[in-house]
Amino acid sequence: MTYRALFLDIDGTILQPDHTYAPSTQEAIRQVKEAGLEVFLCTGRPFVDIQRLTSDFEITSSITYNGAYALYQDDVIFNAPMKKEDVEKLISVTGQSESELVLYTTENNYFTSLTSPHVESFNKVFQLYQNKPFTMDVADKIIAASAINVGENQVKDFEVTDDFHLTKVNVAHDSESYDVLRASVNKGVAIEQMLHHLNISPSEVIAFGDGLNDREMLKFVGTGIAMGNADPRLVEFADFQTTPVTDSGIFNGLKKLGLVN
């Protein structure tokens, strides 16, 4: 099989629980780039907070905010802001509970509280730095959101339109947090736009992921690989499961495909 592109989730896929990555991961990426594959980061993280990884791996293209913003080198391929009225609904739900929101623009991460201990823990785990207090002045610029400290009985409250659904963040921290996803905007949709731009067939693409926000991505590409530490519900959408992120999961998955040695 000839492969032309590789999409990699970050947390739980590239990054281990201590926020480091294995040398084998960097070596695997080096080898597939040398073989001519286009390599993309494909993450729920904000674009402004992945620059260390793009530099370390010399990756110039990415899909961020769970598919809402896609860049090929310096060109914006896909940009899908939320509707202002939907953002207002999310803010209203937060105001009626002890939950908090982080609402992302392409420049900053806007929080409904910067002093909540749950927010402080979230920021420490995900190493978010471009943080500001949310004001309604930016409500029309929001392209993605995450809900922090959400009980299972509150999840439906945040699904403020038929297009919205929440998926649990698959990284341990001190509370339950969820990415606010849209059926019409996800990693799979963004990859489809990217492949159309590059004239690449989905059958020529590999993707690695570990969380339910990777479901559409693994379903869409020709070879979807779930990490050994993946949410069990993700595995059914993968072609196979590799070893965990702490055991060279990316390297071993690409080795099974004959792309690294």
**pLDDT of residue 23 exceeding 90:** yes
Average of per-residue pLDDT across 204-229: 97
- Candidates 166, 221, 159; CA nearest to 188 is 221
Report pLDDT for 1: 77
**What percentage of the chain exceeds 70 in pLDDT?**
98
Radius of gyration of the chain (CA): 17
The CATH 3.30.1240.10 domain(s) of the chain lie at: 84-182
Q: What CATH number is given for 5-79+185-256 in this structure?
A: 3.40.50.1000
What's the CATH number of domain 84-182, 3.90.1200.10, 3.30.1240.10, 3.40.1280.10, 2.60.120.460? 3.30.1240.10
Angle (CA) 223 233 174, round 5°: 115
The CATH 3.40.50.1000 domain(s) of the chain lie at: 5-79+185-256
Report pLDDT for 173: 63
- What are the tens digits of pLDDT across the range 234-245? 999 999 999 999
Side chain identity at residue 23, one-letter code: P
Q: Rounded distance, CA 128 to CA 109, Å?
A: 8
- What are the tens digits of pLDDT across the range 167-197? 888 676 667 899 998 989 999 999 999 999 9
Q: Please, what is the average pLDDT of the chain? A: 94
* SS3 category, 82: coil
Instruction: Give pTM, 2 decimals.
Output: 0.86
Query: CB burial class (10 A; 0-12, 13-18, 19+) of residue 247?
Result: middle
pLDDT band at 123 (very low <50, low <70, confident <90, very high): confident
**pLDDT of residue 50 exceeding 80:** yes
